[in-house]
């Protein structure tokens, strides 16, 4: 992966994850430069939680992230049609509705 | 409570509002000038918090018969301001502004915690509402101070700023007009009590950063309308647009 550690005095890059309510997933919203994880959290609050509702923030040192390489992006391609894997292939809503109607009629 | 005399409350509310509007203006001067973009945004954003608090205090004054908040902020001259001289000092370098923010917000935190129990209910409600923002301001200040205190250069600059700012910071606790009466009525705690709590809050944070509180005599006067020439210069900037057409609708 590319080296994203900064050589200047702005500290390191921290990726920021934002949680809008307890129980929800933390969602990646951006990054901040900071000299320590504590300072990264302090700065992330004003960058990413000043407008959105927020109950919790995570910061993760960007260099701790293991990433795949774009040169290998072809391994994500599907050589043959695999649309059967895609969730929208399932007509779950229609199916359950039909079952409910059948049940109503039988009752 | 309703049987409190407006004349007794007003100087207190002016001191709270004027501290906030002036420190808010000073900290907003970092917009575009912070040591890094993130720091710049955080400082400017906290400045907006302080201006919001000032507006709420001015609104309380308006309910007690004073002019509207904008007119209180933008049409009074320096001698009518009741802010401590600490907040009017020029922003200086990053170390100076940070140390000032640290000393100021430590005081603010203690003051609001005490005012949350004020017998003047609208003030108690405001204090409780501001608690979350002030919690962040304090976290911001102490995290920066602890961080910069880890290196000799940073620690040296912070200590130097601390020596300059400290006598002015003590001026935050200049007893208010009608202090004895306000304390007896349960509107506010005694300034001496706040100053003690402030010192207890600050000492471990400064110690962790390798800093020591200087011994100095307080610089008073701000609460009685005595100011450094810096306040008039600041107001000249801050009030320029409003004064050019006070009746304009924005």
Q: pLDDT tens digit string along A17-37?
A: 999 999 999 999 999 999 999
pLDDT at residue A90, rounded to an integer: 59
**CA distances for A18 relative to A24, A39, A53, angstroms:** 10, 16, 9
pLDDT band at residue A86 under the 50/70/90 scheme? confident
pLDDT at residue A101, rounded to an integer: 76
Please give the domain boundaries of chain B with CATH numbers for all domains.
6-244 (1.20.1260.10)
Is A50 close to B39, i.e. CB distance below 8 A?
no
pLDDT band at residue A105 under the 50/70/90 scheme? confident
Q: Is the pLDDT of residue A89 over 60?
A: no
B47 touching chain A per CB within 8 A = no
- Concatenated DSSP letters of A8-34: STT-EEEEEEEESSTTSPPEEEEEEEE
> Between B136, B146, B147, which is nearest A45 by CB?
B136
pLDDT band at residue B163 under the 50/70/90 scheme? very high
Which parts of B64-86 fold into alpha helices (H)?
Answer: 69-74
ipTM for the whole complex: 0.76
Interface of A with B in 11-70 (CB under 8 A): 11, 32-36, 38-39, 42-43, 45-47, 50
Radius of gyration in angstroms for the set of CA atoms belonging to chain A, rounded to a whole number: 22
Which region, left, alpha or beta, applies to residue B39 given φ > 0 means left and ψ of -120 to 50 means alpha? alpha
Q: Is the pLDDT of residue A1 over 70?
A: no
Which parts of chain B fold into alpha helices (H)?
Answer: 6-28, 37-63, 69-74, 94-115, 121-148, 152-170, 179-184, 191-208, 229-244
What residues contact residue B218 under an 8 Å CB cut-off, 6+ apart?
Answer: B167, B170, B171, B173, B174
pLDDT at residue A76, rounded to an integer: 86
Is B39 close to A43, i.e. CB distance below 8 A?
yes
pLDDT in tens, B44-79: 999 999 999 999 999 999 999 999 999 999 999 999
pLDDT in tens, B164-209: 999 999 999 999 889 999 999 999 999 999 999 999 999 999 999 9
Is B38 close to A36, i.e. CB distance below 8 A?
no
Q: Is the pLDDT of residue A106 over 90?
A: no
pLDDT in tens, B72-116: 999 999 999 999 999 999 999 999 999 999 999 999 999 999 999
Could you say which of 3.10.20.520, 3.30.1540.10, 3.40.640.10, 3.30.700.30 is the CATH number of the domain covering A1-77? Answer: 3.10.20.520
Using CA atoms of A35, A40, A43, A49 in order, give the dihedral in degrees to the nearest 10. Answer: 170
Domains of chain A, residue spans: 1-77
**Structure token digits, residue B51:** 């201006």
What residues contact residue B207 under an 8 Å CB cut-off, 6+ apart?
Answer: none
Q: Is the pLDDT of residue A6 over 90?
A: no
Interface test with B, best of A34, A43, A48 (most B CBs within 10 A): A43
Q: Is the pLDDT of residue B245 over 70?
A: yes
Q: Is the pLDDT of residue A47 over 80?
A: yes
- Residues found in chain A: 107
Q: Taking the CB of residue B3, how many other CB atoms lie within 10 A of it? A: 5
B38 touching chain A per CB within 8 A = yes
> What span, in angstroms and rounded, lies between the C-alpha atoms of A64 and A58?
14
């Amino acid at each position: 992966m590319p080296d994203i550690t900064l050589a200047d005095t702005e500290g390191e890059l921290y990726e920021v994850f934002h949680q809008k309510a307890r129980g929800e997933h933390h969602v990646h919203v951006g990054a901040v430069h900071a000299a320590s994880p504590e300072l990264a959290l302090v700065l992330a609050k004003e960058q990413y939680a000043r407008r959105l509702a927020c109950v919790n923030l995570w910061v993760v040192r960007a260099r701790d992230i293991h990433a795949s390489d774009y040169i290998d992006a072809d391994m994500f391609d599907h050589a043959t049609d695999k649309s059967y894997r895609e969730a929208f292939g399932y007509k779950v809503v229609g199916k359950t509705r039909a079952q409910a109607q059948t049940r109503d009629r039988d009752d | 409570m309703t049987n409190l005399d407006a004349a007794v409350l007003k100087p207190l509310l002016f001191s709270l509002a004027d501290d906030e509007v002036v420190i808010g203006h000073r900290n907003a001067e970092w917009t575009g000038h912070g040591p890094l973009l993130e720091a710049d945004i955080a400082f400017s954003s906290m400045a907006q918090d302080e201006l919001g608090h000032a507006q709420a205090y001015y609104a309380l004054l308006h309910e007690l018969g004073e002019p509207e908040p904008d007119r209180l902020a933008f049409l009074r001259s320096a001698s009518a301001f009741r802010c401590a001289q600490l907040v009017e000092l020029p922003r200086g370098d990053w170390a100076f502004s940070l140390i000032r923010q640290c000393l100021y917000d430590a005081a603010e935190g203690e003051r609001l915690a005490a005012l949350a129990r004020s017998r003047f209910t609208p003030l108690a409600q405001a204090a409780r509402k501001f608690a979350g923002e002030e919690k962040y301001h304090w976290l911001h200040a102490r995290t920066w101070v602890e961080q910069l205190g880890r290196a000799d250069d940073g620690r040296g600059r912070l200590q130097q700023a601390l020596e300059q700012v400290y006598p002015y910071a003590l001026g935050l606790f200049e007893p208010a007009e009608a202090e004895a009466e306000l304390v007896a009525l349960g509107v506010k705690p005694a300034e001496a009590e706040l100053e003690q709590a402030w010192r207890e809050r600050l000492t471990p944070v400064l110690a962790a950063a390798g800093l020591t509180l200087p011994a100095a005599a307080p610089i008073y006067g701000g609460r009685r309308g005595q100011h450094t020439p810096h306040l008039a210069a600041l107001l000249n900037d801050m009030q320029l647009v409003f004064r050019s057409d006070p009746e304009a609708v924005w």
